Structure 1
């Protein structure tokens, strides 16, 4: 099939590569404009652009894809189908209708649950046992189109946002290839979403990672995993930011106040929460490298009774 691919971040790369490997003709790749990075303002290409360049594919980077001249230019490619994966702009109906089979989206949740920008992380934060990928026929709404294909993926006990991201990127790419085959064979079946059952996965912010120790240890442990690697969960220790990368729930009750360090062991900093305690296992103090709590305690003086987040 002649595919118009639209995507920007790492999550989209796996799908683009699988489309190329499957022998489909990628007639164009649309990705977000390049951005300057760092003090030197060096130009940073999107991950999708890097792959497109490596394969010699035509690249388009419109500031606003909805502009008429952009749609006219893309229509000249005469795509059979548009494949959209985390592109980063809202597409107008004229663009969605332009390919022969319209546009499909690889969405990292089991729709209609977790529509929106950050379904991977919120599925962990909310304690879901499973998640997955849905291939959806796109319409003008926010992840509201008819479902075409889906695959379910279990969320493991120690799953992080990063590890689940990788699993879903791979699963979504394979599912998309199966879906393209179904389009070619004329066997596509579309199922409408139940909007009453939908939930919204809001965009992540750094502030979301600020740990509120009045919440339960279970809730905080999920927050830590969901926000690993970005934007990360954090608190403060003696006025410095302390990122928390890994923690375990402690069933023992210590009787301290929320945020209080109630015990120090050879490999953990035990902190009281609103319900049960949290054993911090991997942390990073502002200005220091990421390390196991045991290594941190051997090189940094910290006292039992210290309250985090003050």
Structure 2
């Protein structure tokens, strides 16, 4: 098949590489414009662009895909299908109608659950037992198109946003190759989605979301820590400095104290009172320091019981 691929971050790389390995003709890759990074503001290529250049695939980086000039470029390319995976822009009706097989999207949730920009992190934050990938036929709505195929991916008890990201990227890549074969052979079956999502909208993740509210339950906070690992990370304040929380464990027992109060300090962990239960803090990163297990942190930093976090 002649394919135009639209994607930007690491999540999309696995699908692009799988399409190349499957022998499809990649006639163009569309990705977001390079962005300045670091102190020197050096322009950095997106992960998808790097893979495309490595395989000598033409790269297009329009500021907005809805621009008439870019739409005409796609018409000239005349792809059989456009594959979209975490691209980051809204695809217009004009573009959706260009390919013979339309546009298909690799979405990191079991639609109609978790429509939106951050389904991976929200699945962990909300304590889901399973997630997955849905390949859907794109329409003008946001993740509302007909579902073509799905794969279920169970979540481990210690699943993080990062580990689930990797699992779903690989699962989505394999499923996309299968779906394209089904489309070519006329075997693809489309299932309409209900109008309403079965979960809350998976809104974009922001750094501010990582601030821990110690009035929440220990379970909710622990899920937040895992869901926001590796980015943007959950955090609190300790003696006026930002303390990132990377790993924690829920302790169900109740003890007297104020939410956010450090109740016990042990050799390799400390325990914080929450709105329900205690949270055993096992891995941290103090502002200006490296990420480390709590035992190493406590060897260089004195914590007092009774101190309040936040």
Q: TM range, normalised to the smaller chain?
A: over 0.9
Cα distance in 2 for residues equivalent to 1:140 and 1:196: 15
Between the two proteins, the alignment pairs up a number of residues equal to 309
Please give the residue correspondences for 1:1-310 in structure 2 after superposition, counting only pairs within 5 Å. Answer: 1-199=1-199, 200-309=201-310
Post-superposition Cα deviations, 1:134-170, rounded to whole Å, max 9, x if no partner, equal: 0000001000000000000111100000000000000
Cα distance in 2 for residues equivalent to 1:136 and 1:70: 24
CA contact (8 A) 2:262 2:273 kept: yes
Cα distance in 1 for residues equivalent to 2:195 and 2:160: 28
Cα distance in 2 for residues equivalent to 1:207 and 1:197: 25
Q: CA deviation at 1:172?
A: 0.3
TM-score computed with the length of structure 1 as normaliser:
0.99
The residue matched to 1:201 in structure 2 has which SS? coil
Post-superposition Cα deviations, 1:208-256, rounded to whole Å, max 9, x if no partner, equal: 1100000100000000000000010000000000000000001222211
Q: CA deviation at 1:37?
A: 1.2
Cα distance in 2 for residues equivalent to 1:113 and 1:197: 6
Cα distance in 2 for residues equivalent to 1:114 and 1:197: 7
My pick for the range that moved more, 189-198 or 199-208, is 189-198
Q: CA deviation at 1:197?
A: 3.7
Cα distance in 2 for residues equivalent to 1:56 and 1:283: 42
Cα distance in 2 for residues equivalent to 1:197 and 1:6: 25
Cα distance in 1 for residues equivalent to 2:24 and 2:210: 41
Q: CA deviation at 1:273?
A: 0.2
The residue matched to 2:136 in structure 1 has which SS? strand
TM-score computed with the length of structure 2 as normaliser:
0.99
Q: CA deviation at 1:91?
A: 0.8
The residue matched to 2:62 in structure 1 has which SS? coil
CA contact (8 A) 2:114 2:197 kept: no
Cα distance in 2 for residues equivalent to 1:254 and 1:288: 31
Cα distance in 2 for residues equivalent to 1:40 and 1:231: 22
RMSD of aligned Cα (Å):
0.7
Cα distance in 1 for residues equivalent to 2:23 and 2:222: 43
CA contact (8 A) 2:252 2:277 kept: yes
Q: CA deviation at 1:265?
A: 1.1
The residue matched to 2:101 in structure 1 has which SS? coil
The residue matched to 1:50 in structure 2 has which SS? helix
The residue matched to 1:94 in structure 2 has which SS? helix
